[in-house]
Homo-oligomer: A and B are copies of this chain.
Amino acid sequence: MARTTGSHSDITGPRIRDVAMRLFAQHGYAAVSMRQIASDVGVQAGALYNYTPDKQSLLFGLMQGHMEDLLAARAARDVPEDSLAQLEDFTRFHIAFHMERADAVFVSYMELRSLSDENFATIETLRRRYEDELEQILRQGVCTGVFSVPDTKIATLALIAMLTGVNTWYRTGGRLSVEEVETIYWDMVRKAVAP
């Protein structure tokens, strides 16, 4: 059936999000203009406001979407029984998920300060929920003597920082596959928390 010329609501929306994510990751939220986003999408600046009330909401939607994808993907996973297998599963999941979404990870970490207070609180809650999963694994393992760490909260943050650091150097098409990177990091994680 016929559609009015120039009407692409089902295409333009996702395209705006894709382009904004890429530009925010590359140059930073504050350094990217709505005109630049529109130009890359192939529309005029005014058209963007059919999809987002303002620039801040566009950023927040991207970050919230990323965090919810992360939690949903994590929740969809079968959790092994013993602590060591759980930690390996978390490590491999974290690396694989984050390597596939370099832009979203970068934006979600770097642009926390660009969020309004209210939006920041929302994202922080989601991020904390994810961190808590790792801390639970560590805490239980410490209880049963499978792991030994000086402080489960600090170890959680230290491991996540280490794992997310993959994004600073990994480039798709490099000499290592995702699985090889997973294995390299798992080796270090396993030993770092060993008794």
Q: Which residues of A contact B (CB under 8 A)?
A: 26-31, 110, 113-114, 149-151, 154-155, 157-162, 164-165, 168-169, 181, 183-185, 187-189, 191-194
Contacts and interface: CB of A to CB of B under 8 A. Distances in A.
Nearest to A27: B113
A28 B31 CA distance: 10
Contact of A191 (B28, B161, B191): B191
10 contacts: A27-B113, A28-B29, A149-B188, A151-B184, A154-B169, A158-B162, A158-B188, A162-B162, A188-B192, A189-B192
A13 B74 CA distance: 50
Contacts of A30: 27-28, 30-31
A184 B150 contact: yes
Contact of A161 (B27, B161, B194): B161
Nearest to A186: B150
A185 B28 CA distance: 31
Given A155-B188, A161-B162, 5 more contacts: A150-B188, A151-B184, A154-B184, A158-B162, A162-B162
